[in-house]
Amino acid sequence: MSHNGKVQILDGAAVRKVIFERLKPRIEQLRGRLKRPPGLAVVLVGRNPASEIYVRGKIKACGELGIHSEKILPPESIHTHELVEIIDELNRRPEIDGILVQMPLPKQVDSRRVLEAVAAERDPDGFHPLNVGHLVAGRPGPRACTPAGIIEMLKHYEIVMAGRKAVVVGRSDIVGKPMALMLLQENATVTICHSRTANLAEECRRADILVAAIGRAAAITAEYIAPGAVVIDVGQNRIDDAGEAERLGRAEEFARKGYALVGDVHPLDVVQRATAYTPVPGGVGPLTIAMLMSNTVGLAEARQS
């Protein structure tokens, strides 16, 4: 791994465009066979502003591709059993191929019970225990969208994974764990680190491919990054302090919007050390939705085969 000063920016929007182009003929074929487009139902409970933005993005992507989408908007006060009933009904509807429950759910709702109520064959998030089991066993099925998108991006930019050392920082069920398994399937040698890891910086410096998914703004600084590493930043953290934004090189964005977005990797340090990295915003973000669309199409195809 040499670092010759030229840094490649891994552009999520460009990769999303390629994924969408590949999906279009598959969607057309499904329309012919099923006499309908693939269908995605999005369940959004209450009025979480961040969730509303995410859901808007998902519905917009459906529109671009010609996937049928429906929004179900139960009140904030809903109870677990009522939400499970809504999902049971969606499971039975023939024109719905994927059911997405937008997280987080209100405190009184048992999130696990709700997620497991979504039938495994209608789970475009790849969160159902059965689909997680398929991932572990290397069997086909929907894969968690963010890590699946990262694999697509690494392939798009022809970044070699086989035989490389990959370090994943974060062990969530949504990103960290499935990411490690997918890198393993690509024949990388994988280490998973987390908040209890001893000598975290030292572990991270061993990585040819470093994936940061810890949810702490700019926590991964220069000392964590080996010169020449490929750095994938999954974080999306909002900075509301002008001084902090300036320190992270985001003063201009802050002046424009009143806040700035940074990932889990220090945005100035990564440019100094990495050979390639994903910017925030615009790196991993667009791929999560692209893979959600891809999974929905895959579920529709599996149902009619």
Which residues are part of the catalytic machinery?
Answer: 58, 102, 125
Alpha-carbon distance values, 165 to 1, 195, 211, 229 (Å)? 11, 20, 11, 10
What tokens appear for 129 in the block?
Answer: 């225990």
What tokens appear for 55 in the block?
Answer: 């859901």
Q: What whole-number distance in Å separates Cα of residue 208 and Cα of residue 135?
A: 24
Q: What whole-number distance in Å separates Cα of residue 6 and Cα of residue 91?
A: 50
What tokens appear for 202 in the block?
Answer: 């030292």
Helices of type H across the chain: 12-34, 49-65, 80-92, 111-117, 129-137, 145-156, 176-185, 200-205, 242-247, 251-257, 267-273, 285-304
In the three-class reduction of DSSP (H, G, I as helix; E, B as strand; rest coil), residue 106 is classed as coil
Q: Which of 163, 162, 41 is nearest to 99 (CA)?
A: 41
What tokens appear for 96 in the block?
Answer: 């719905």
What tokens appear for 88 in the block?
Answer: 């049971």
Q: Is the distance from CB of 30 to CB of 300 less than 8 angstroms? A: yes
What tokens appear for 305 in the block?
Answer: 């085969």
